[in-house]
Amino acid sequence: MDVYAAVASRRAVRAFTDEPVPRAVLERVLTAAARAPSGGNLQPWHLRVLTGAPLAELKKRAAERAAAGDPGDEREYRMYPPEAKPPYAERRSAAAAQRFGALGIERGDAAGRRAAVADNWACFGAPCLLLAYIDRDMGAAQWADLGMYLQTVMLLLRAEGLDSCPQMAWSVYRRTVAEVVAPRPEWVLFAGVSIGFADPSVPYPRTGRVPLAETVTFVDGS
């Protein structure tokens, strides 16, 4: 698979089969992804890869919290800017409308939306979860490094025929995650990435992107 095909076919998959992901494939992908760039070559990422009984236990504990309406642990970083400003507020609500609409959940159906969101903590059925931590004293540049690293992982997964879903949602129940994976206290949980094989029986709407001219300006003197 060439890089364009990997980029084009990657999407946030929210329905996986229970087919296990071979350990050798995970090791191959994570070994290759370590070639991702980072400022000063700091490689400021710490990963935990969960499968089997530990993942089942994490899903169970997180699902219990979600079912109880637990709003989550105090946040260690802001997921979104505090004020919903254009054009981002519109893009975010369009994405939500598309996502929940595809599941047949009406706009005002708060319980339906909650249930769909709660599926995050079941990894959408995926048999593998990668958890991405970064040292608390790292700055914006290193968080960007971590993002590049995770995208590299997700593209390599495509090359292996695997799918993924990046999930900030795991940071909401980060203390429960910590009970299972015992991270160092100086680490912040950025996100999880559910990994597995997409369930082909579940249709999905392709997410949109704004036209190139909205985000890119060529400064070429012409």
Q: Could you say whether residue 93 binds ligand FMN (CB under 6 A)?
A: no
Q: Could you say whether residue 95 binds ligand FMN (CB under 6 A)?
A: yes
Map residues 144-173 to x or -, x wherever contact with ligand FMN holds by CB under 6 A: ---------------------xxxxx----
Of the residues 75, 161, 207, 210, which one makes contact with ligand FMN according to CB under 6 A: 207
Q: What DSSP line would sit under 11-65, residue for residue?
A: -B---B--PPPPHHHHHHHHHHHTT---GGG----EEEEEEHHHHHHHHHHHHHH
Burial per residue of 212-222, b for 16 or more beta-carbon CB atoms within 10 angstroms, e otherwise:
eeeeeeeeeee
Q: Could you say whether residue 51 binds ligand FMN (CB under 6 A)?
A: no
Map residues 181-200 to x or -, x wherever contact with ligand FMN holds by CB under 6 A: ----------x---------
Least distance (Å) from ligand FMN to the CB of residue 86? 18
Q: Could you say whether residue 14 binds ligand FMN (CB under 6 A)?
A: yes
Burial class (CB within 10 angstroms; exposed 0-12, middle 13-18, buried 19+) of 35: exposed
| C-alpha of 210 from chain center | 21
3-state SS of the chain: helix, strand, coil percent to 5? Answer: 45, 15, 40
Q: Could you say whether residue 97 binds ligand FMN (CB under 6 A)?
A: no
Of the residues 9, 11, 54, 178, which one makes contact with ligand FMN according to CB under 6 A: 11
Query: Which residues are at the interface with ligand FMN (CB under 6 A)?
Result: 11-12, 14, 95, 120, 165-169, 191, 207
